[in-house]
Amino acid sequence: MCFQNMKHKIGPLVRRPFWMNLEPAPCSSKGEGRLCRIGLLWGNKMKLVSVEASRIVSLVHLRASRGQPFAPDVLLGAVARYRFQIAPQSAAELAAESVTLKMGVFEGVQINELAVYNDGLIVNVRANAKLAEDFLDDVYGWAASEFGLAKIEQPGEMRHFESSVVVEMATQVADKFNFLNGLYEDLTGFQEAYGVGNLPYRFGGFQAETEGAAIGGKRTFTFQRRLNTPFAANYWFSSAPLRTDDHLSVLEELERRAL
């Protein structure tokens, strides 16, 4: 079984009384790359509506301490352990450049997809990234105990995160961009000139990105209105190369700055 290299594929909050907001903003339980600001979150109103997706790319090198295990045994063992409903069914599929298992379960939550490559794993869930990390830890622990596949410490495992959430924010967040009102008026005026109506423009979101990155390529943060949702709902979709909890901390801080 030959798996292709996958490095190119990297690509509940509670409303509280204001005096309780003297505590640090929520942080992930992991120390790496987290945003932990201590500040006064006066008037903070952000609420988590839904976690849309969490994706982790785990780059890792494994050593076979007991000799190379029979690949079908490893995959079929994973199918049985995590109850994947869609898995390779033929020798040709097992010999593909990568193998993908779909619709599994871990701690009562569906694992949408587990993709296996020769240098790591990719996991997709619609849940907090903490669950996806716990799932990966369980997979690696099981592979080590059952098949002798242990992580090589140098170079160590690297995990890359992608998080997508929908949050409800205070109206002041969009109001912060009222300096663009002149642009909106210009665009509305051309609508009338073109005979396509005069629906007013409003702030719809923004994107921030790095020019590049040493590992994994460009990092992109997006913040935009939720599709097919009235503007008055103040629902925003956001994606970021972060763990879920760190992502929410960034959004909470964005709202705090706007208030």
Domain range list for the chain: 14-53+162-258, 54-160
Burial of 182 (0-12, 13-18, 19+ CB in 10 A): exposed
Its sign, for the CA torsion 248, 250, 251, 257, is positive
Helices 244-258 and 129-147: crossing angle in degrees, nearest 10, is: 160
What is the predicted pLDDT for the residue at 14? 35
Both tokens of 158, joined, read 């690297």
Task: Assess contact for 169 and 223: CB atoms under 8 A.
Answer: no
pTM, whole model, 2 decimals? Answer: 0.80
CATH class (in words) of the domain with range 54-160:
alpha beta
pLDDT at 173 over 90: yes
Portion of the chain with pLDDT greater than 90, in percent: 66
The partner residues of 9 in beta bridges, in order of sequence, read: none
Give residue 259's pLDDT band: very low, low, confident or very high (50, 70, 90).
confident
- How many residues does this entry show for the chain? 259
Nearest to 105 by CA among 129, 131, 75: 131
Count of beta carbons in the 10 Å neighbourhood of residue 36: 12
What is the rounded distance in angstroms from the CA atom of residue 247 to the CA atom of residue 220? 12
pLDDT in tens, 213-251: 656 678 999 999 999 999 999 999 999 999 999 999 999
pLDDT in tens, 28-59: 434 344 343 433 344 558 999 999 999 999 99
What is the predicted pLDDT for the residue at 211? 86
